[in-house]
C-alpha cells in the first residue's frame, strides 16, 4: 500500500466503496473533502489508509459489562440458570420498555400480571402444600436479582406476593386455608399483600402493635391502621397482623378486599419505588370470620419466621440493584467522551468502577452463601440480618458511584441509574432498618442485647 514516495494512490482508491461515497456526497462537499486530503502529510494519509482498511486505528472491541466478575453464578444448576434467564427476558421484553412511564405515573403496571403468570415462577420456589423446594432461597434470590437489575419495584411486587403474603399462609395457615389460597396465589389469580407496619409502629411493631382483634361470636373484629402495605391498593386480600385484646397474642388474618370496614388509600408522593403501590389501611370495626384467621399462627414467632425468610430476599434486592447500576455505569464510561477520551480511560473513573465491582462481588458471595445456608436449614436470624445490613449499605454506596459516573445524566430517569439510586433508599429501610438489623447481629456476636 505504501510506496517509498508515500501512500500508493491507486491502492487507496481501491479501498473506496463507491456506493458509500455516493451517499456521502449527498451529505458533504466531496470536492472540499478531497481538497483537504490533498493537503495531508504522508503520515496523515498513511493513517487514513489504515483506517479505511480497518487497521490499527479501528477502536478495539471493549468487554461487555458483566457484574459477575468471579463467575459466581457459573455454578448454578441448569434449572436455576433457566429461571434466571426467563426472568431476565421478561424484564427486558415487558418491564424495561414501560418502567419509566409507570415510574412517572406512580403506578404499578397491572396489565403485566397475565404475562408474569405465564412464567409460573412461584412453582419454582414453593410446593402447593406450602413447603419449599430444596433450592427455594437460591431460586427466589435469582428471580429477585434479575428483576432488580432492571427494576426493583417489579421484584417488590413479586416479593410481597410470593414472599411475605404467601409465606404467611404457608407457615401460618391450616391445610384448608393453604388448599384454598396457595394454588390461586401460584397462578397469580389471587394477589396478596402483607400488613404489619403501622403509622406509629415501624421498628417497634413486635412490641407495640396497636391494631387489635377481638373475638366476637364466630368471627373477629379488627381495629387499627397499617402503613406502607405494598400491593394493597389492588390485592385480593391482605394478611393483617393484630394483637388479641384478651390474650395479648399476635394473630394473623386473611382480610379480603371489599370487606366492610377495610379501607385502603394509596400513599402518594414517594421518591423511591414509585412503581410499587403502597397503601395506608384503616380497619374500622372490620369483621372477619374465624375461618379467615390463620389457624396455625403461634404468636409473633410465626410473623418473625416469615420475616426471616423474606429478609434473605431483600438482601438479594440490594445485590441486583447494585449489579444493574454497575453495568449501566460501565457501559456509559466505555462510550462517553470528554477531553477527547472515553471517560473509562480516566483513572478516577476506573477507581469508581472497580470500587463498585468489588462491592457487587462481595455482596453476591454473601447472598449465595446465605441462601445455601437457608436452603440447608442453617440460617439464623442474625445471618439474614447481617446479609441485609451489608448488602443494603454496599448497594447504597454502589448506586451513588454509578450515579456519579454518569455526571448530570445520572439524575435523568432515561439513563437508568437514577431509578436504582432512588430505589435503594427503600431497600435500606424496609425489612428491618440498618440500625435494627445491626442490633440483631450485635446481640448475637456479643451475647449482649443493646435493644432499648
Ligand atoms: C417502600 C416501602 C415498602 C414497605 N412495604 C411494607 C409492606 O408491604 N408491609 C409492611 O408491613 N411494611 C412495609 N414497609 C414498612 C417497613 O418495614 C418500615 O418502614 C420499617 O420497618 C421501618 O419502620 P419505620 O419506617 O416506621 O421507621 P422507624 O421505626 O420509625 O425508625 C426511624 C429510625 O429510627 C431508628 N430506630 C428505631 N428503633 C431503634 C432502636 N431501638 N435503636 C436504634 N435505632 C432505632 C431506625 O433504624 C430508623 O433509622 C415498607 C416500607 C417502605 C419504605
Task: Provide DSSP, 338-388.
Answer: ETTEEGGGSHHHHHHHHHHHHHHHHHHHHHHHHHHHHHTT---HHHHHHHH
Of 193, 207, 228, the residue with max ligand 1 atoms within 8 A of its CB, to mutate for a pocket test, comes to 228
CB of 213 within 6 A of ligand 1: the answer is: no
Q: Provide CATH code, domain 300-446.
A: 1.20.140.10
CB of 202 within 6 A of ligand 1: the answer is: yes
CB of 436 within 6 A of ligand 1: the answer is: yes
DSSP code per residue over 231-276:
TTTT-SEEEEEEEETTT--EEEEEEETT-TTEEEEEPP--SS-TTS
Handedness of CA 154, 155, 157, 158 (dihedral sign): positive
| Ligand 1 atom 25 nearest Cα | 202
| Residue 94 three-state SS | helix
Query: What are the pLDDT tens digits along the chain (452 aa)?
Result: 444 444 455 555 555 666 666 665 666 666 666 666 667 766 565 565 555 555 555 678 999 999 999 999 999 999 999 999 999 999 999 999 999 999 999 999 999 999 999 999 999 999 999 999 999 999 999 999 999 999 999 999 999 999 999 999 999 999 999 999 999 999 999 999 999 999 998 999 988 899 999 999 999 999 999 999 999 999 999 999 999 999 999 999 999 999 999 999 999 999 999 999 999 999 999 999 999 999 999 999 999 999 999 999 999 999 999 999 999 999 999 999 999 999 999 999 999 999 999 999 999 999 999 999 999 999 999 999 999 999 999 999 999 999 999 999 999 999 999 999 999 999 999 999 999 999 999 999 999 999 98
Q: CA geometry: angle at 404 spanning 429 and 345, to 5°?
A: 140
Quote the ligand 1 centre to 304 CA distance (angstroms).
15
| Ligand 1 atom 7 nearest Cα | 229
Whole-prediction pTM value?
0.88
Residue with cell 419466621: 305
Quote the ligand 1 centre to 204 CA distance (angstroms).
9
| Ligand 1 atom 37 nearest Cα | 203
Amino acid at each position: 500500500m505504501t510506496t517509498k514516495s508515500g501512500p500508493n494512490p491507486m491502492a487507496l482508491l481501491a479501498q473506496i466503496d463507491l456506493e458509500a461515497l455516493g451517499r456521502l456526497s449527498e451529505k458533504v462537499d466531496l470536492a472540499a473533502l478531497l481538497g483537504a486530503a490533498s493537503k495531508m502529510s504522508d503520515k496523515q494519509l498513511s493513517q487514513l489508509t489504515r483506517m479505511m482498511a480497518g487497521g490499527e486505528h479501528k477502536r478495539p472491541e471493549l468487554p461487555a459489562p458483566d457484574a459477575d466478575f468471579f463467575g459466581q453464578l457459573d455454578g448454578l444448576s441448569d434449572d436455576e440458570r433457566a429461571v434466571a434467564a426467563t426472568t431476565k427476558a421478561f424484564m427486558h421484553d415487558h418491564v424495561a420498555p414501560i418502567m419509566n412511564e409507570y415510574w412517572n405515573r406512580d403506578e404499578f403496571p397491572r396489565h403485566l400480571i397475565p404475562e408474569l403468570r405465564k412464567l409460573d415462577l412461584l412453582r419454582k420456589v414453593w410446593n402447593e402444600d406450602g413447603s419449599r423446594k430444596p433450592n427455594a432461597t437460591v431460586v427466589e434470590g435469582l428471580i429477585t436479582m434479575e428483576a432488580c437489575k432492571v427494576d426493583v419495584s417489579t421484584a417488590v411486587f413479586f416479593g410481597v406476593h410470593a414472599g411475605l403474603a404467601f409465606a404467611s399462609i404457608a407457615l401460618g395457615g391450616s391445610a384448608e386455608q393453604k388448599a384454598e389460597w396457595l394454588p390461586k396465589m401460584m397462578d397469580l389469580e389471587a394477589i396478596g399483600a402483607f400488613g404489619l407496619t403501622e403509622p406509629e409502629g415501624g421498628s417497634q411493631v413486635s412490641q407495640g402493635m396497636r391494631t387489635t382483634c377481638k373475638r366476637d361470636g364466630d368471627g373477629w373484629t379488627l381495629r387499627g391502621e397499617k402503613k406502607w402495605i405494598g400491593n394493597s391498593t389492588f390485592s385480593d386480600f391482605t394478611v393483617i397482623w393484630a394483637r388479641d385484646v384478651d390474650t395479648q397474642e399476635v394473630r394473623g388474618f386473611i382480610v379480603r378486599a371489599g370487606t366492610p370496614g377495610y379501607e385502603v388509600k394509596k400513599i402518594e408522593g414517594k421518591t423511591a419505588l414509585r412503581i410499587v403501590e403502597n397503601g395506608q389501611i384503616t380497619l374500622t370495626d372490620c369483621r372477619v370470620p374465624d375461618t379467615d384467621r390463620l389457624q396455625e399462627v403461634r404468636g409473633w414467632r410465626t410473623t418473625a419466621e416469615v420475616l426471616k425468610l423474606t429478609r434473605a430476599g431483600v438482601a438479594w434486592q440490594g445485590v441486583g440493584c447494585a449489579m444493574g447500576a454497575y453495568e449501566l455505569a460501565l457501559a456509559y464510561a466505555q462510550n462517553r467522551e470528554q477531553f477527547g477520551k472515553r471517560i473509562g480511560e480516566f483513572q478516577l473513573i476506573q477507581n469508581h468502577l472497580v470500587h463498585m465491582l468489588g462491592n457487587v462481588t462481595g455482596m453476591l458471595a454473601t447472598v449465595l452463601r446465605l441462601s445455601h445456608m437457608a436452603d440447608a436449614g442453617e440460617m439464623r436470624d442474625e445471618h439474614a440480618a447481617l446479609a441485609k445490613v451489608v448488602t443494603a449499605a454496599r448497594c447504597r454506596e454502589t448506586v451513588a458511584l454509578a450515579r456519579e459516573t454518569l455526571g448530570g445524566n445520572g439524575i435523568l430517569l432515561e439513563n437508568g441509574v437514577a431509578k436504582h439510586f432512588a430505589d435503594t433508599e427503600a431497600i435500606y429501610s424496609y425489612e428491618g432498618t440498618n440500625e435494627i438489623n445491626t442490633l440483631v447481629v450485635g446481640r448475637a456476636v456479643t451475647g449482649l442485647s443493646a435493644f432499648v
